[in-house]
Amino acid sequence: MKGIIIGGGIIGLSLARELNKNGYDVTVIELLRVGRGASWTAGGMLAPQAEGLEPGTFLDFCIESREMYETFVKTLERETDIDVGYWKCGILCPAFSEEEEKELKKRIQVYSELGLTGKWIDREALEGRYRSLGEEIRGGALFPDDAQVDNRLLMTALEKYARSRGIQLLEFTEASEIIEENGKFEAVRTSKGIVEGDFCVIAAGAWSEHFIKCHVFPIKGEMAAIDISPQDIDRVIFGSKAYLIPRKDYKRLVIGATEEMVGFKDGNTVKGILQLFNGLKDTLPNLINNTIQETWFGYRPATPDLLPVLGKTEIENLYIATGHYRNGILLAPITARVMFDLIDKGIENHYIKEFSLNRFKANKNE
Ligand code: GLY
45: CATH: 3.50.50.60
- Is residue 157 domain-shared with residue 290, that is, in the same domain? no
Give how far the C-alpha of residue 264 lies from the chain's centroid of Cα atoms, to the nearest Å. Answer: 18
**How much is the pLDDT for 366?**
44
- Is residue 189 domain-shared with residue 254, that is, in the same domain? no
Where does a domain end: 271, 301, 331?
Answer: 301
Nearest CA to ligand 1 atom 1: 326
Where does a domain end: 301, 321, 348?
Answer: 301
Integer Cα distance of 276 and 44 in angstroms: 17
Residues 6+ apart with CB under 8 A from 366: none
Question: CA 56 → CA 53, 61, 122, 169, 239, distances in Å?
Answer: 8, 9, 29, 37, 23
Q: What is the DSSP letter of 151?
A: H
| Atom of ligand 1 at shortest range from CA of 45 | 1
Instruction: Confirm or reject: Cβ of 256 under 6 Å from ligand 1.
Output: yes
* Total structural domains within the chain: 2
Instruction: Confirm or reject: Cβ of 221 under 6 Å from ligand 1.
Output: yes
Integer Cα distance of 105 and 110 in angstroms: 9
- Is residue 8 domain-shared with residue 126, that is, in the same domain? no
- Is residue 297 domain-shared with residue 308, that is, in the same domain? no
- Is residue 224 domain-shared with residue 297, that is, in the same domain? yes
Query: Can you name the residues that pair with 156 across neighbouring β-strands?
Result: none
Instruction: Confirm or reject: Cβ of 301 under 6 Å from ligand 1.
Output: no
Ramachandran angles phi, psi of 180, nearest 5°: -125, 160
- Is residue 104 domain-shared with residue 245, that is, in the same domain? yes
Write the pLDDT tens digit of every residue in 23-62. 999 999 999 999 999 999 999 999 999 999 999 999 999 9
Nearest CA to ligand 1 atom 3: 326
Domain range spanning residue 123?
A: 80-148+218-301
Instruction: Confirm or reject: Cβ of 149 under 6 Å from ligand 1.
Output: no
Where does a domain end: 301, 330, 355?
Answer: 301
- Is residue 141 domain-shared with residue 259, that is, in the same domain? yes
Instruction: Confirm or reject: Cβ of 45 under 6 Å from ligand 1.
Output: yes
Integer Cα distance of 194 and 192 in angstroms: 7
Integer Cα distance of 160 and 205 in angstroms: 21
Mutate to test the pocket of ligand 1, among 46, 219, 243, 261 (most ligand atoms within 8 A of CB): 243
Strands 184-190 and 175-181: antiparallel
pTM of the model: 0.97
Which residue type, as a one-letter code, is found at position 288? I
Ligand 1 centroid to Cα of residue 332, in Å, is 14
Nearest CA to ligand 1 atom 2: 326
- Is residue 6 domain-shared with residue 144, that is, in the same domain? no
| Atom of ligand 1 at shortest range from CA of 330 | 1
- Is residue 6 domain-shared with residue 50, that is, in the same domain? yes
Nearest CA to ligand 1 atom 4: 326
Strands 253-256 and 292-302: unpaired
Integer Cα distance of 347 and 325 in angstroms: 24
Instruction: Confirm or reject: Cβ of 12 under 6 Å from ligand 1.
Output: no
- Is residue 120 domain-shared with residue 247, that is, in the same domain? yes
Ligand 1 centroid to Cα of residue 325, in Å, is 8
| Atom of ligand 1 at shortest range from CA of 259 | 5
Integer Cα distance of 19 and 349 in angstroms: 18
Segments of the chain with pLDDT less than 50: 364-366
